[in-house]
Structure 1
Amino acid sequence: MTKIDRYILVLFLRTVFVCFCSIAGIFIVFHAFTSMDDFVKMGQKQDGLVPVMARYYGPYMLLLFDMTGAIITLLAFLFVVGWLRRTGELTATLAAGISHGRIFKPMIIASFCIVTLQLANREFVLPGMRDALSMKAKNVKDDVEEVVLPCYDKTNGILFEGHSLHVKTRTVKQPSFRLYGDYGDYGDLLMADTATWTDATATHPAGYLLKNVSRPERIDQLPSMGTAERAILLTSRDQDWLSPRECFVATTVTTDLLSKDQSATRLSSVMELAARVRNPAVRSSASVHVLLHERIVRLPLDFVLVMLGLPLVVNRRQRNLFVMIGIAILTVLFFFALKTLSGTMGSSGYLMSPAFAAWVPLLVLGPFAYVRLLEVQTL
C-alpha cells in the first residue's frame, strides 16, 4: 500500500466515522429529549444517568449502523472525492497517469469491508439484542411485558394463548393452551399460572413447562401423551423430573412467535429465519419468505448501492459536490423504491414469487454497477 493509498483510506474511514456519529448524535438527541424523564428516574434508581443511557442506546447504535452503513459509505465516497477534487490532489494524481480505478481502489475495498462488517453485526450481534431493542426507555433493566400473539401449532393441534408474555424470562403468564387434537381426558384446554419456554435437553424436547396447572384438575393422574415418534404432553405421573401440578408441552412454537412485536422477526439471523420457514408446526407468511431471501442478498445489494455512486464521481464533467449529493439522494431513493416495490409484490404474491421479488433489485442494478466498476479501471 502506497502513501497515497493510506492517505485516501484514512480520509475515507474518518469521513465514514464522522457521518455515522452525526446521524447517531441526531438520533440520540431527538429521542432522549422525549424520554429524558424516564432516563432520570431510572438513573436515580440504578447506577447513574450516563450508564443507563449507554445500556439503552448501545444496541440501537448497532441497529443504526446496520440500517445506514451502506448509505453512509456512499456519502463518504462522494465527500472524499469532492475533497480530493477541491484540493487539486485528484487532478494531480490523474495527470501522473493513474486511473480513477487505482485511486479509488482503497475506498472500494474499504466499502466492501464495511458492508461485510454489517453482515457480521446483522447475523451474530443483533439477534442477541432483540430484547434490548424492544424495550422502552423506562424498562432499561426491567422485564418487558407484551401482549401474547396467538399461534397455532399445526403439528400438535394446539393453539397457544395467554394473558401476557415476559420477554427476558421467556414466560407466558396465565397461559391458555387450547387442544384441538384427540387428547382424551386432557379435555380441550390447558390452564396454569405460568408457562416457561425450555430448550431441549437429554430428558425432554423443547417446549413449555407449565406450573400450577389448574385445568385439567387431575393433571398428576393423567399419563403422558404423544405419538410413536415424539412426546407432546408430559406429566409427573411418569416423568420423574416433573413436580406435582406441572405439565410439559413439547412444541416448536417459540416465544418469538408469540410476541406481538414482530421486530424480533426482522432482527433474526438467516439461520433462524430459515428454521422458521422449515418449521412444519407454523405457517410462514410470504413476507417471511421475502425477508429470508432479502437477507441472503443483502451483502451484494449493499455493495451495489455503494458502486452506484461511481458514475457520479467518475465522469467527464466536473460536477459540483452538492449536485453529486443531490443525485446520490435520488439514486438511494430509487434503490429503496425498487426494493420496497418488489418486496411488496412478493409478499402479496402479485406477479412474482417471494424468492424472485427479493432478487429483483440485485438483478436489475447489479449488472449496471458491475459495468461501471469495470469502466472506472480505465478512466
Structure 2
Amino acid sequence: MRILDRQRFWAFGKAYITCYISFVGLWIVLDAFSNVDEFTKRTVGFGQLMSAMGRYYLIRQAEYFDKLGGVISMMAAIFTVTWMQRANEQIAMLAAGISTNRIIRPVVVCSILVSFLSIANQELIIPRYAEELQKSHADDGTSTIAVLSTPYDSRGLMLSGREADRAAKTILKRFNVTVPVQVFGSIREIEGLQATYIPPEHPTAPLRGGWLIRATKISPPVPEEDLKNPDSPVVMVQDLNGFPPPVGDASKLEGDVVFVRTTLSFEAMTRKTSWYQYGSMLDLVRGLVDPSTDRTDRNYIEMAIHSRAMRPFLALTLMFMSLPLVLGGYGRNMFINLGFALGNAALFYGCGIFCQYLGGEAVISPALSAWLPLFVFGVVATHRWGQIRT
C-alpha cells in the first residue's frame, strides 16, 4: 500500500466517523429529550434512567448503521475528494501521471468495505437483537404486548388473541381458533381464556408444536371421540403434567383444556408487520414459504430478499453518481458539492421508496421493484463516470 493510498484511507475513515457521529449523535439527543418521560416510566432514579437510555441507543447503533451506512459512505467520499482538491493534491498527482481513477481507488475500496460491513450487520447483528430493536422507549420487556395479527396456518386454522406475555409465550384474556370445515365437517369456534405456545423442542410436554388452550368452549360441540383422535389437529388434554403452568390465578382457568396443533408459533402471532426488516436472509426465506404469510407481507418479503442482494450495488451506484459532481469540475466548495450529493441521494432513495410502494401494492412485481432503481440510476452513474476528467 502506497503512502498516498494510506492517506486516502485515513481521510475517508475520519470523514466517515465524523459524519456518523454528527448525524447519529444529533438524532440521539433529539430523540432522548423527546422521550425522556417514556424512559422514566420503567426506571427508578437517575442511574437506572441513564442505564436504560444507554442500552436502548447502544443496541440501536446497528439499526442506525443499516439505515445511514450508504448515505454516510457517499458523504465521506465527497468530503475526502473535496479536501484533496482544496489542498491541490489532485493537480499534483495528475501532473505526476496518476489518473483520477487511480487516485480515488482507495475511496472506492472503502465504500465497498462499508457495504460488506452493512451486509454483516444486517445478517448477524440485527437479527440477534431484533426483539430489542422493535421495543418502544417505555418497553422494559416485562409488559404485555398486543397480538396484532390473525394469521392462517397450513391447515386453514385462523388464530387470534388480544395481548400476550412474552416471557411465558402465552396469550392472555382471550384466544380464538376458527377450525375450517374440512377438519370436523363444519366450522367450529374454539374460545379460551388463555393459550400457551408449546414449541416442538419443549423438553417435558407430552404434546408439542401447538397451543395449549385453557378454559375452552367449542361451539358447536365436537363429539368426544373426535377430540381423542391423536391425528386430529384439536385434541382434548386430560393430564397437564409436563406442560408449562398457567399465567396468573389458575382458579380462574378451570374448565376443558385442548391442544391445537399448528405451524403458527408465538412469534408469528405477536410479530409486527415490519418484522422482516429485522430478520436475516434465512428468516425472510422461511417467511416467504410460510403459508400463514399473507399476500401483502409476501410481496414485501420478496422485495426485501432482492433488496438485500442489491444493497452493495445500490450503495456503489449512489457513490458513482455523486463523485463525478466533484471530480467533473463542478467546484471546490465542500458545501456545494455536498448539496449536490444530498440532492442525488434524496432522488435516489425517493425513487427506491416509490418502487417499493409499487411492489408492495402489486402494481409491479417485487423483483422489478427492487431492481428498477439499479437499472435507472446505473445508467446515470455510468454516464457521469465517463465524464470524469483524467
- Whether these two folds match at TM > 0.5 is yes
Match of 1:233 in 2: 234
- Give 2:112's aligned residue: 112
Contact map agreement 1:165 1:171 (CA 8 A) in 2: yes
Supply the distance in 2 between the matched residues of 1:41 and 1:343 (Cα, whole angstroms): 37
Residue 264 in 1 paired to residue 281 in 2? Answer: no
- Aligned partners of 1:256 and 1:264 also within 8 Å: no
**C-alpha displacement of 1:239:** 10
Query: Is residue 5–residue 106 contact of structure 1 (8 Å, CA) maintained in 2?
Result: yes
Q: Hey, what does 1:248 align to over in structure 2?
A: 259
Matching residue of 2:54: 54
Residue 89 (structure 2) pairs with residue 89 (structure 1)? yes
Work out the CA distance in 2 between the residues paired with 1:205 and 1:302.
49
- Confirm or deny: 8 A CA contact 1:148 1:260 kept in the other structure: yes
Cα distance change, pair 234–299 in 1 and its aligned pair in 2 (3 A):
farther
* 3-state SS of paired residue (1:124): helix
How far off is 1:298 after superposition?
Answer: 2.1
Q: Is contact 2:116-2:312 (8 Å) kept? A: yes
Q: Match of 1:138, SS? A: coil
Q: Is 106-115 or 93-102 further displaced after alignment?
A: 93-102
| CA displacement at 1:75 relative to structure 2 | 0.6
The one-letter amino acid of 1:208's match is: G
Q: Which residue of the partner structure matches residue 312 of structure 1?
A: 325
Stretch moving more, 211-220 or 102-111: 211-220
Q: How far apart, CA to CA, are the structure 1 residues paired with 2:182 and 2:30?
A: 55
Equivalent residue number for residue 247 of structure 2: none
Residues 175 and 192 in structure 1, CA contact (< 8 A), matched pair in contact too: yes
2:303 equivalent in structure 1? 290
Deviations 1:320-353 (A, max 9, x none): 2222112111211221122122222222232x32
SS of 2:195's partner is strand
Q: Is the 8 A contact 2:330 2:337 kept in 1?
A: no
Of stretches 194-203 and 302-311 in structure 1, the one that deviates more from structure 2 is: 194-203
- One-letter code aligned to 2:6: R
Q: CA deviation at 1:64?
A: 1.0
SS at match of 1:162: strand
Deviation (angstroms), 1:282: 3.7
Q: 1:212 aligns with which of 167, 192, 214?
A: 214
Q: Deviations over 1:133-162 (max 9, x none)?
A: 222222234345124321122x31211111
CA contact (8 A) 1:148 1:165 kept: no
Give unpaired runs (5+ residues) of structure 2. Answer: 245-254
Structure-2 separation of matches of 1:237 and 1:168: 25
Of residues 239-248 and 27-36 in structure 1, the stretch that sits farther from structure 2 once superposed is 239-248
| Cα drift, residue 48 of structure 1 | 2.4
* In structure 1, C-alpha distance between the alignment counterparts of 2:358 and 2:40, rounded to whole Å: 45
1:18-29 residue pairs with structure 2 within 5 A? Answer: 18-29=18-29
1:344 aligned residue: 357
Q: Would the aligned equivalents of 1:234 and 1:248 in 2 still touch at CA under 8 Å?
A: yes
* DSSP-derived class of the 1:139 partner: coil
- Relative to structure 1, the CA distance from residue 98 to residue 199 in structure 2 (aligned partners, 3 Å threshold; closer, same or farther) is farther
Structure 1: which amino acid aligns with 2:331? Answer: Q
Counterpart in the other structure of 2:145: 145
Query: Matched residues, percent identical?
Result: 25
- Cα distance in 1, alignment partners of residues 101 and 315 from structure 2: 20
Alpha-carbon spacing, 1:370–1:191, altered in 2? closer, same or farther (3 Å): same
Partner of 2:249: none
* Distance (Å, rounded) in 2 between the aligned partners of 1:215 and 1:22: 58
Match for residue 72 of structure 2? 72
- One of 342, 347, 369 as aligned partner of 1:329: 342
2:319 maps to amino acid: V
| 1:13 positional shift | 1.0
Structure 2 distance, partners of 1:127, 1:77, is 29
Q: Could you tell me how far apart the structure 2 residues matched to 1:267 and 1:128 are? A: 9
- Structure 1's unaligned 5+ residue stretches are none
1:23, distance to aligned residue in structure 2 (A): 1.2
Q: Which residue of 2 aligns with 1:273?
A: 284
Distance 1:83 1:254 in 2: 54
Encode CA deviations 1:179-222: one digit per residue, 9 max, x unaligned.
Answer: 12344499712333433334333988974332424224999983
SS in 1 for 2:44: helix
Give the letter for the 1:301 counterpart.
Answer: L
Contact in 1 for aligned 2:148/2:272 (Cα 8 Å): no
Contact 1:207 1:248 in 2 (8 A): no
Farther off after superposition, 176-185 or 127-136: 176-185
1:300 Cα shift? Answer: 1.7
